[in-house]
Amino acid sequence: MRAQPKASHYINGRYVEDEQGAVIDVLYPATGETIARVHSATENIVELAMEAARSAQPAWARLKPVERGRILRRAAELVLARNDDLARLETLNTGKALQETLVADAPSAAEALEFFGGAVASFTGEQVDLGQSFGYTRREPLGVCVGIGAWNYPIQIAGWKAAPALAMGNAMVFKPSELTPLTALALAEIFTEAGLPDGLFNVVQGLGNVGATLVTHPATAKVSLTGSVETGRKVQALAGGKMKHATMELGGKSPLIVFDDADVKNAVGGALLANFYSTGQICSNGTRVFVQKGIYEHFLDDLTRRTKAIRLGDPLDPETHLGPLISRAQRDKVMGYIAIGQEEGATLHLGGGTPKLQGFEGGYYVEPTIFTEVGDHMRIAREEIFGPVMSVLTFEEEDEVIARANDTEFGLAAGVFTRDLARAHRVIAALDAGTCWINAYNLTPVELPFGGFKQSGIGRENARAALAHYSQLKSVYVEMGDVESPY
């Protein structure tokens, strides 16, 4: 299986190589085989990319928003037309089941391009009445924006950052995760084909050190990171030290609360999506499932039956639900947490093993795992695992569950299942989380802002909120009379 790109980096509208950079092997997580090899960006590559972005940006910003938007919408069409190829590449890159990558990865990037390609034209400043005079505000681009991605949704993350940044008149230098360098390059090619002028979307490869170099580069105006809280703290500090704008999309340990009047079938469906989609590697996952005592048995029976029916296997087989985790290190981390959960006294209700799948012995698979009898203080209920591990907790009262749900340093997401809509809105309003669902989970339409409270992030992606985060306000006072001066 090979997925070798033409070269490691994409700068100024073309592929660029510098073999001086350290080699990064790209593995297919289902088998562990090497499918591509890229080089980390050298200083020379970083400079080329930053210079390309810096010099291309002013002319781009001078275009009318509809003109920029038209190119983004053309890119959206190309992404959708190539969806089958992009999905296959994303599956090879991440190990996620083709069943998912066909509907959730490139299509989500396309949706962002389509949305921001249209929305930017109406994202305008305000006219302000000042009596005799007036003022107005202008939404201006920031300049060169750096995007840094995680490995769970590589092309989606590239699209979610590039689309609002470019729509607003910025240029972007994007560094994918070192584990998943491939699909951002494919997106860059598509931008060029769609007519995006050279230098506006550049991709450079590398580990955290390359990311840090980009963040602190003098030409960088803003950084948008998707990654762990630990990395977010470092990047936020680096950006703050140089007074750069920053958006942080970080990790979570989100609560999903199921009241005893909930539709159990839907609530179980929500809990499964909240824990096992993308083999559990989703930042907004509802990994603390609080179930009210009255329906606990019913909920657990249905959950168990449906979890047992999840098919692990060949990610390229359209019947497969669940692929492997991204890497050996991630599998070891997840298996470590499964051991910790048992040591802490939680009950390993289902799964917990590494399945032996013929032909995929070298893959990083973990069974969908459910812990019951989980205490709030346990590490499996407090720390982000980022794998297919669900903790089921029980509760009795509304106030009690709100307090327990909020007792975390994170605040990315939260969900509530109940048929009582007054309660649904009351509870959601009381939860400290940036992205919430009522009777659903893990849906992230581009029309709604996405992001976290507390340690889970700063700023927002998607919706008009993202355009605000990729722009700066200029206030203009217009004097209609004479200048009143005491001098």
Just list the catalytic residues.
Answer: 161, 249, 283, 461
Other C-beta atoms lying within 10 Å of the C-beta of residue 14: 14
Half-sphere exposure of 108 (CA within 13 A, CB side): 22
Helix (H) or strand (E) holding 291: strand 288-292
Please give the Cα distance from 125 to 240 (Å, whole number): 27
Q: What are phi and psi of 474, to 5 degrees?
A: -115, 130
* Shortest spacing between CB 21 and ligand NAD, in angstroms: 14
Please give the Cα distance from 290 to 431 (Å, whole number): 13
Place of tokens 């190309």: 78
* Shortest spacing between CB 241 and ligand NAD, in angstroms: 12
* Shortest spacing between CB 182 and ligand NAD, in angstroms: 14
Nearer to ligand NAD, 18 or 383 (CB): 383
Cβ–Cβ under 8 Å, residues 154 and 183: yes
Nearer to ligand NAD, 151 or 299 (CB): 151
Please give the Cα distance from 422 to 425 (Å, whole number): 5
* Shortest spacing between CB 74 and ligand NAD, in angstroms: 26
3-state secondary structure of 461: strand
Please give the Cα distance from 166 to 170 (Å, whole number): 5
**Size (the chain), residues:** 487
Half-sphere exposure of 331 (CA within 13 A, CB side): 19
Nearer to ligand NAD, 148 or 267 (CB): 148
Cβ–Cβ under 8 Å, residues 170 and 120: no
Q: What Rg do the C-alpha atoms of the chain give, in angstroms?
A: 23
Interface ranges with ligand NAD (CB under 6 A)? 148-152, 175, 177-178, 207-208, 211-212, 215, 225-228, 231, 234-235, 249-252, 283, 384, 386, 412, 452, 457
* Shortest spacing between CB 160 and ligand NAD, in angstroms: 8
Under DSSP, the state recorded for 285 is -
Other C-beta atoms lying within 10 Å of the C-beta of residue 260: 16
What angle in degrees, to the nearest 10, is found between the helix axes of 208-216 and 229-241? 30
Please give the Cα distance from 138 to 125 (Å, whole number): 5
Place of tokens 């809280």: 229
Nearer to ligand NAD, 302 or 384 (CB): 384
Beta bridge partner(s), residue 10: 15, 203
3-state secondary structure of 211: helix
Sign of the four-CA dihedral 19, 21, 22, 27: negative
Nearer to ligand NAD, 177 or 471 (CB): 177
Nearer to ligand NAD, 236 or 471 (CB): 236
* Shortest spacing between CB 202 and ligand NAD, in angstroms: 15
Nearest to 108 by CA among 334, 327, 314, 277: 277
* Shortest spacing between CB 373 and ligand NAD, in angstroms: 26
Taking CB positions, which residue lies at the least distance from ligand NAD? 211
* Shortest spacing between CB 175 and ligand NAD, in angstroms: 6
Please give the Cα distance from 224 to 218 (Å, whole number): 16
Nearer to ligand NAD, 91 or 418 (CB): 91
- 336-369 burial by CB neighbour count: b if 16+ within 10 A, else e? ebbeebeeeebebbbbbebeeeeebeebbbbbbb
Nearer to ligand NAD, 98 or 223 (CB): 223
Residue 387, token pair as written in the block: 């794998």
Nearer to ligand NAD, 57 or 444 (CB): 444
* Shortest spacing between CB 102 and ligand NAD, in angstroms: 19
Opening angle at CA 222, ends 281 and 478, nearest 5: 135
